[in-house]
């Protein structure tokens, strides 16, 4: 990333360029990212290819002011952090589900080291998760507006728990962005991927709540966890929520396409 792109990315987040790559600055950027850049899988249902390289990620998140899912959001955020002087490693994760762990390269998260000694897990691409980065080496409870988190040993890997429930298992070996292409392809095409079976667009709100559009269901959650859901009737209403609630201008309402192979 060149300085012009870094500045454009920071403007997207409403952030100033940090004087130094500190833990405090990382926490601020992390929360701003969750508020400004939605977690969304619209590309899958709009017939757009998910491309994991620097040019494509920055074009989507910065120039086109879109969101994405974990590979795109954490991939782009990692580029921004590296350009600001942070030491960034990409970590591969497998999501805990009802049937056990997901596929290899199921999830991408970031390990970020700061100039003031911070060693943190940053993750702006897991939907409802921690609002701030988690301490990589802490094994006790970590309080966060998004819940109570723990990072625990799991046979050489690390499990990240939210409110006592395992969310995903992280390898500690650093990876490259290209390592995740097969996982992104599977999640974009397989009928067994929940991303091909549903539409989602979600972000944290300024007051610490959340706004989520799942298909035509608009759900708002306040900072205390109280939810209110309503069905949107017309395409005009849906497009207005994408525009006004998420800053995404669409010419058509996405519809679920399903997977491409069995």
Task: Report helix, strand or coil for 141.
Answer: coil
Assess whether 107 carries a catalytic annotation: yes
CA distance 181 to 99: 23
Catalytic residue among 30, 96, 106, 123: 123
Assess whether 235 carries a catalytic annotation: no
CA distance 67 to 60: 7
CA distance 75 to 80: 9
259 closest CA partner among 172, 185, 156: 185
Which residues are CB-neighbours of 194 under 8 A, at least 6 positions away? none
Catalytic residue among 70, 96, 129, 201: 70
Catalytic residue among 30, 33, 96, 107: 107
CA distance 57 to 72: 6
Which residues are catalytic, by number? 70, 107, 123
């Amino acid at each position: 990333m060149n300085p012009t792109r870094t500045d454009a990315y920071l403007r997207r987040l409403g952030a100033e360029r940090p004087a130094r790559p500190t833990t405090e600055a990382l926490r601020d950027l992390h929360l701003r990212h969750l508020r400004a850049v939605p977690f969304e899988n619209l590309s899958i249902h709009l017939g757009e290819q998910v491309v994991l390289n620097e040019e494509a990620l920055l074009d989507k998140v910065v120039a086109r002011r879109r969101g994405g899912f974990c590979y795109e959001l954490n991939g782009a955020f990692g580029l921004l952090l590296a350009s600001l002087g942070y030491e960034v490693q990409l970590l591969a994760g497998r999501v805990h589900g009802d049937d056990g762990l997901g596929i290899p390269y199921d999830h991408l998260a970031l390990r970020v080291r700061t100039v003031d000694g911070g060693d943190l897990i940053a993750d702006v691409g897991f939907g409802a998760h921690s609002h701030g980065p988690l301490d990589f080496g802490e094994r006790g409870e970590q309080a966060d507006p998004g819940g109570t988190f723990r990072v625990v040993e799991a046979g050489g890997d690390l499990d990240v728990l939210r409110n006592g429930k395992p969310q995903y298992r992280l390898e500690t070996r650093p990876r490259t962005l290209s390592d995740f292409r097969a996982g992104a392809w599977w999640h974009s095409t397989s009928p067994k991927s929940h991303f091909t079976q549903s539409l989602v667009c979600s972000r944290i709100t300024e007051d610490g709540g959340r706004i989520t559009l799942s298909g035509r269901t608009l759900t708002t959650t306040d900072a205390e966890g109280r939810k209110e859901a309503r069905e949107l009737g017309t395409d005009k209403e849906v497009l207005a929520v994408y525009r006004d609630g998420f800053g995404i201008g669409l010419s058509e309402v996405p519809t679920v396409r399903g997977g491409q192979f069995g």
